[in-house]
Chains A and B, each alone.
Chain A
Amino acid sequence: MPDLEQAVDGKGEQSGAKARFFMRFTREQRTLHAVLFTTFLGLAATGLPMRFSQSIFARKFASGVGGFGTIIFFHKFFALVLTIAFLIHLKEIFMRGVIHREKGIFWGSTSMVANWKDVKDLVGHLRWMMGLGPKPQFERYAYWEKFDYWAVFWGMIVIGFSGYAMWFAPFFARFLPGWALNAVLVVHSEEGLLAILFIFSIHFVNTHLRPDSFPMDMVVFTGVESEEEFKHKRTEEYERLARQGKLEARVAAAPALWQVNFSKIVGFTAIAIGLTLLVLTLSAYFI
């Protein structure tokens, strides 16, 4: 996975007087996000009926697809695909951060690792929301984006481990205590529920549905964002790049029309499925 400056394909230099676009996500990062949300939607759609197996929607869904056998088959299938994607991501981080000793993977302004600025940003952001201070300016990854990333990272390990412990229970029983075999179901379903509720409400709103991005932030699909948006959303990164004279290197071609349309279809479908699942999840507590 190349760094952003190297990922730009050179066409951007001709953009001239028109609105300039800047690279934010590499093709690999966008692919990872696509695999992540596709498998996540699949896991949520097949996991929820199991979690709320007494509810009407779960039984209707199960009888519609041919019963529990079908549901668990696809749940395991999506789990395997997501596991592979996660392992590829770990390998990338290892290669970039440890083997190639790339700066900015584990620390600094472009790292996903939380730092003191994130704490200050969180406090400052909350103060700004309540009208108690100025709006903080963000670097490449804002604190809520880092939280999203680490929530998924922690979730992958927790849900993945507990899931495989149930899948291969006799094997895991060799080194897990007896009570852990009971606990893995609780952990798996609670953490899964947290992930579903978090992604389909908070992540959707924070990233896509809030006024600054409404109705959808296309950057994770097209990989690029306009200069105005870049400057407004990640002012510190923009200014740092300008200071360092690296801004030009990040200029990329405007997204093609098909790319925008395709992204919209995929993105809105994902959001629609997610919101449907959110409603079903919440309804399961009442029906």
Chain B
Amino acid sequence: MKTVSSITLTLAVSTFLFFATPRALVAQTDCLGCHGDTSMQDASGHNVGVDAHKFGESIHGVLKCGDCHTTIKDYPHPDQVTPVKCDTCHADEAAGLVGSVHASRAEHPCTSCHGDAHSIFPKTDPRSAVYPLNVPHTCGACHGNDAMAKKHGLPNVYPMYIDSIHGFALSKEGLLVAANCQSCHGSHHILSHTDPLSSTYKVNVPKTCGKCHAGITANYESGVHGKAVAAGHLDAPVCSDCHTAHAIEQPTAAAFRMQSTPICGNCHKEKFSTYRDTFHSQLGSLGGYVETARCWDCHGAHEILPASDPRSPIAPANLVKTCGRCHAGANASFVKYQPHANARNRKLNPALYYVTLFMNLLLIGVLTFFMIHTLLWLIRSRYDQIKARAAKGGKNA
């Protein structure tokens, strides 16, 4: 018993000495004596505990608490402490945030993306909130939120992205090279797509996608759309106009093939209308048979060239080959078929115009004549029937 009492006394005295006299805080252990309790709360109920083990492993684990919490030098310290300034060390990142969509520090503190200040890991560490495979989840915390999207007039992009081909590559295949949010938008200096300096500004989109899809971008840039955009015609489509920005699908998939022709039709209205008249479109609309020719099956998708260009798949010399991809046995006379013939245009397609006119007149003529004929006949027959029955004293009398 005596031994126990003396130990208790020694502890009590040393504790009293520790708390009673102001002393300088030098090592992490000095702070962790209190803040090492991870459930510790301040007067207003905020958690001020630190997981000492995790912090030790984090990228800032080698720093002393006072390196960031610069105003706290002694114990006891005031209840109110000034917020930590990451800029002190991370000046470049801080500069990047200036003018970006996330410039407001009050709304977007560093920790909103980088996570808990005491467990920040390098972006190459799978535990990091900004590790490539974690980025969509991190951004999705805000950009997968309907209320937030509505407040800022933004689409709720997280669900679109996560079901897209990029999202699948990332979440299902775990591909580090799969495009995540920051691959296209950048990280600190994110600009609105309406800003000409933004990586997602219309003119810059091909270059942004081209960071990964270099071959396709080169093809695109030599095609009519790429040339038009480069020449300042902003009506011409860039990658995202056909593929969308976030809900990108595998272009060969049935779902995309089914919805794709109207995308071209948005601009090419006349061509879309004449395509609609053809068997290609009729079959294509029915589903379950997605092989029927869509725009790019003949025109190409990225390096679209006019028929006058000998490299174009629709150049006269290449038609047999192009049509032959689907139509086995396609020959020189077969490719005289006009996939965009306009039966309503007498000058352009006179034969088709007159055939259609004849067929319509035949249809209307025959039906009109026999409609009248049959109607008159019905009335007269019924009249005779009633008269005959009346003569016999029947119920129609």
Name A's B-contacting residues (CB within 8 A): 49-51, 53-54, 58-59, 62-63, 66-72, 125-126, 128-131, 144, 151, 166, 169-171, 173-174, 176-183, 185-187, 190-191, 193-194, 197-198, 201-202, 205-206, 210-212
Q: Mark B379-391, 1 if CB is under 8 A from A, else 0.
A: 1111011000000
Which residues of the other chain, A, contact B284 by a CB distance below 8 angstroms?
53
B281 beta carbon closer than 8 Å to chain A = yes
- A62 to B366 alpha-carbon distance, docked (Å): 31
Which residues of the other chain, A, contact B4 by a CB distance below 8 angstroms?
none
Question: Across the two chains, which residue of chain B brings its CB closest to A64?
Answer: B288
Which residues of the other chain, B, contact A187 by a CB distance below 8 angstroms?
355, 359
Which residues of the other chain, B, contact A49 by a CB distance below 8 angstroms?
286
Q: Which of A66, A173, A201, A210 contacts B288 (CB 8 A)?
A: A66
Q: B286–A129 contact, CB under 8 A? A: no
B58 CB, min distance to chain A CBs, angstroms: 54
- Pairs across A and B, CB under 8 Å, 18 listed: A50-B286, A53-B281, A68-B283, A68-B286, A69-B288, A130-B376, A144-B373, A169-B334, A173-B333, A176-B333, A179-B336, A181-B336, A194-B359, A194-B366, A194-B367, A201-B374, A211-B384, A211-B385
Which residues of the other chain, B, contact A182 by a CB distance below 8 angstroms?
337-338, 341, 343, 349, 352
B394 CB, min distance to chain A CBs, angstroms: 13
Question: Across the two chains, which residue of chain A brings its CB closest to B367?
Answer: A197
Sort A-B residue pairs by CB-CB distance and give the 5 closest, nearest first.
A67-B288, A178-B336, A68-B289, A190-B359, A170-B329
Q: A212–B381 contact, CB under 8 A? A: yes
User: Contacts A170-B331, A182-B352; is A129 near B278 (CB within 8 Å)?
Assistant: no
User: Contacts A67-B288, A182-B341; is A193 near B363 (CB within 8 Å)?
Assistant: yes
Which residues of the other chain, A, contact B250 by a CB distance below 8 angstroms?
none
Interface residue ranges of B243-299 to A (CB < 8 Å): 276, 278-279, 281-289, 292
B351 beta carbon closer than 8 Å to chain A = yes
Q: B371–A202 contact, CB under 8 A? A: yes
Among A63, A70, A144, A211, the most chain B Cβ lie within 10 Å of the Cβ of A211
Question: Across the two chains, which residue of chain B brings its CB closest to A71?
Answer: B286
Which residues of the other chain, B, contact A177 by a CB distance below 8 angstroms?
336, 351
Which residues of the other chain, A, contact B382 by a CB distance below 8 angstroms?
211
Among A131, A166, A170, the most chain B Cβ lie within 10 Å of the Cβ of A170
B370 beta carbon closer than 8 Å to chain A = yes
Which residues of the other chain, A, contact B279 by a CB distance below 8 angstroms?
166, 185
B328 beta carbon closer than 8 Å to chain A = yes
Q: A186–B352 contact, CB under 8 A? A: yes
- A215 to B156 alpha-carbon distance, docked (Å): 60
Name B's A-contacting residues (CB within 8 A): 276, 278-279, 281-289, 292, 327-331, 333-334, 336-338, 341, 343, 349, 351-352, 355-356, 359-360, 362-363, 366-367, 370-371, 373-374, 376-382, 384-385
Per DSSP, are chain B's interface residues mostly helix, strand or loop, or mixed?
Answer: helix
Q: A186–B380 contact, CB under 8 A? A: no
Q: B370–A53 contact, CB under 8 A? A: no
Q: A169–B327 contact, CB under 8 A? A: yes
- A59 to B282 alpha-carbon distance, docked (Å): 11
Q: Which of A126, A170, A190, A212 contacts B328 (CB 8 A)?
A: A170
User: Contacts A129-B376, A210-B378; is A58 near B286 (CB within 8 Å)?
Assistant: yes
Which residues of the other chain, A, contact B355 by a CB distance below 8 angstroms?
183, 186-187
- A234 to B385 alpha-carbon distance, docked (Å): 17
- A280 to B338 alpha-carbon distance, docked (Å): 30
Among B331, B377, B382, the most chain A Cβ lie within 10 Å of the Cβ of B377
Which residues of the other chain, B, contact A178 by a CB distance below 8 angstroms?
333, 336-338
- A177 to B380 alpha-carbon distance, docked (Å): 49
- A125 to B377 alpha-carbon distance, docked (Å): 8
Among A54, A183, A185, A205, the most chain B Cβ lie within 10 Å of the Cβ of A183
Which residues of the other chain, B, contact A68 by a CB distance below 8 angstroms?
283, 286-289, 292
Question: Across the two chains, which residue of chain B brings its CB closest to A66?
Answer: B288
Q: B359–A186 contact, CB under 8 A? A: yes
Which residues of the other chain, A, contact B336 by a CB distance below 8 angstroms?
173, 177-179, 181
User: Contacts A186-B359, A190-B363, A202-B374; is A179 near B287 (CB within 8 Å)?
Assistant: no
Q: A170–B327 contact, CB under 8 A? A: yes
Question: Across the two chains, which residue of chain A brings its CB closest to B334?
Answer: A173
- A66 to B288 alpha-carbon distance, docked (Å): 6
- A198 to B286 alpha-carbon distance, docked (Å): 26
Question: Across the two chains, which residue of chain A brings its CB closest to B285?
Answer: A53
Which residues of the other chain, A, contact B379 by a CB distance below 8 angstroms?
129
